[in-house]
């Protein structure tokens, strides 16, 4: 069920829509990201990194795409609000793709967390993460790390 009611108060109201999917190996995911969906989901869990795509299969971006066109906005944000000593991001500049002289502009790449430990999951949660048919490849009796790397 889904519905919205009028907010007659002066308070801010929030709503949340939750969706579930049972297929964790959609062909379109591999075509758009270059990675199997169940592998990407396992990487998110095991490495603490962002997924390649949203469930809608739109690409996950670290910062708004308009900052790639208006790179001075990103540069001001990096210089004014970010801790450049943090190892969470690689602050290397990227080369503009254009004709004419070579120019480098601000860019961010997120690094995997250093001290990340995945949370424990029940068997059912593991099955929901990668799909029942792939559970043994990631969590089964053989080393899950070896199998996960072999799936790449």
The 10s digit of each residue's pLDDT in 92-101 is 999 988 888 9
Give SS3 for 92: coil
- Give Cα separations from 46 to 70, 115, 128 (angstroms): 34, 12, 14
Question: What confidence tens digit (pLDDT) does each residue in 31-79 have?
Answer: 999 999 999 999 999 999 999 999 889 999 988 888 888 888 999 989 9
Among 93, 86, 89, CA closest to 107: 93
Determine which helix (DSSP H) or strand (DSSP E) holds 150, and give its type and residue range.
helix 144-150
């Amino acid at each position: 069920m889904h519905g919205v009611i009028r907010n007659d108060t002066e308070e801010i109201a929030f709503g949340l829509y939750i969706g579930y999917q049972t297929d964790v190996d959609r062909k379109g995911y591999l075509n758009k990201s270059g990675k199997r969906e169940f592998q990407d989901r396992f990487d998110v869990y095991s490495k603490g990194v962002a997924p390649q795509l949203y469930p809608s299969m739109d690409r996950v971006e670290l910062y708004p795409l308009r900052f790639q066109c208006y790179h001075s906005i990103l540069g001001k944000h990096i210089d004014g609000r970010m801790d450049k000593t943090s190892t969470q991001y690689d602050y290397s500049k990227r080369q503009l793709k254009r004709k004419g002289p070579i120019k480098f502009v601000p860019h961010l790449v997120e690094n995997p967390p250093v001290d990340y430990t995945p949370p424990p999951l029940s068997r059912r949660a593991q099955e929901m993460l990668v799909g029942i048919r792939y559970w043994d490849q990631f969590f089964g009796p053989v080393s899950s790390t070896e199998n996960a790397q072999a799936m790449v």
